[in-house]
Structure 1
């Protein structure tokens, strides 16, 4: 299943073929041996071949679901709009081509001179968790749909087991060796950040790392609804603990993924977010000048696993 990394190809949308995560701090009792009066010990982790087989089954289930085609189309439309604005920004709009996809399906497709990459945080233990496995299967489907080579996809969760790392490597994606805490800059490349059910601080860190008009115009986030975050958190808490989310709320486009009973737990409260250039340019200039790195020292219930240092203990 692994893909060979080749020279960057134009981006084109095509039709698809017929947990526990780094974003959450584990509960204090998770990972400890439980007494016989509470619950039995977990079953041994399945081997890599079994995980791959279950993953293929999860992909097949997704492909025939009411959720999949609508969700993939939502992602495709948002990415298409982002690439259109970037081509206009670079003066390359003439190279934009809207046509029918191969095979005569009549579905609009987009070619672009930009290389689109993907970064995934917070999948969790997909070898043992059905929800995490479905989230990984969906990522593989939208990579195919958007023609993002698996070799251009980076994945990280500090809770990955050796078997899970081996499976991901066999799938052709790259497993990061360092906990970035979401602090990754797009460095000029359009990037899809797939962050299902991650902690709020991860999204805040990601925005801080790309806090400029040029960088945010290249960011697309599939993750927790920012509107939902605003509704759930007190305004003063949002502004104090997660200021970059608070500052950008009025300058993004958010489209929720469809909700179906089958995948309610898997993709509930999940939206696609992108940042229209005109909205970003309309923000006050002094807003971009403030770029203090988040530290969360006074933040209660921080739902991420922090990067370990030589003097730090695991959170």
Structure 2
């Protein structure tokens, strides 16, 4: 009787049958790849094939970890106070740039998991889009599983908004933020944007000449104070601190943007001298 009871284990009840994660993979979340394109990992003398089901399992585990964390609890409270109606109109879409390969990066899996939680918090009624030049076939399958539409071309973040949109851009190059703002350099469109990404005020610590040549749209945003930001709370020991460090929720308050409504010189399009070499 004892051996029969041992066969009915809790793992079999809780494991999602559609995922069927390899036990070897399940035990080794932080695996090392043989090379950039390989889908095989080495554990001692064993070589194991990774699939989209394995990556989905990793993401589900990270979503659970985030949900239980103090970091996410504080982040939710911040969002509820600042971003949900009646403070702002309802967000419709999410556009995700530069998240990396979900298949190949533990960091990308955490960032993607947080984006999925944002989708639920903001009750997104439109679509979720994603683009990164390093996305693999496994990544595309994972995106499809979560109803995230892969952007087929490199937009370089020059997407013009047509509704309230959350741009999810953790740790992207400076040029991408500049391109996004330039594409929507209009007092109506700017009010439809929330950016989750690097703290843009950080770049004002660089020389003005650098910003004028690489990212001229960062200068009026930071110096003229039409951008408002809330820094992410600190992560805890259960979540690596390099994943969400120095990230902000950033937006353009209506009253601050409208203050420049009649300033035609302010809204003149600016020309970059050089494109950011790190831009995707």
TM-score bucket of the superposed structures, by smaller chain: 0.7 to 0.9
SS at match of 2:217: helix
Aligned match of 1:133 in 109, 119, 142? 109
Distance in 1, matches of 2:273 and 2:138, equals: 33
Aligned to 1:145: 121
5+ residue gaps, structure 2 = 1-15, 17-34, 39-46
Do structure 1's residue 119 and structure 2's residue 98 form an aligned pair? no
How many residues get paired?
A: 233
Query: Is the Cα–Cα contact under 8 Å of residues 154 and 176 in structure 1 kept in the other structure?
Result: yes
Aligned match of 1:247 in 208, 213, 220? 220
Larger radius of gyration: 2
Report the aligned-residue RMSD. Answer: 2.4
Aligned match of 1:219 in 176, 187, 193? 193
Distance in 1, matches of 2:50 and 2:203, equals: 36
Do structure 1's residue 230 and structure 2's residue 210 form an aligned pair? no
Aligned to 2:243: 266
Aligned match of 2:269 in 266, 291, 301? 291
Deviations 1:53-108 (A, max 9, x none): 11111111111111112113323433237x6465xxxxxxxxxxxxxxxxxxxxxx
Aligned to 2:258: 281
Aligned to 1:9: none
TM-score for both structures, normalised by structure 2? 0.77
5+ residue gaps, structure 1 = 2-29, 34-42, 87-113, 306-315
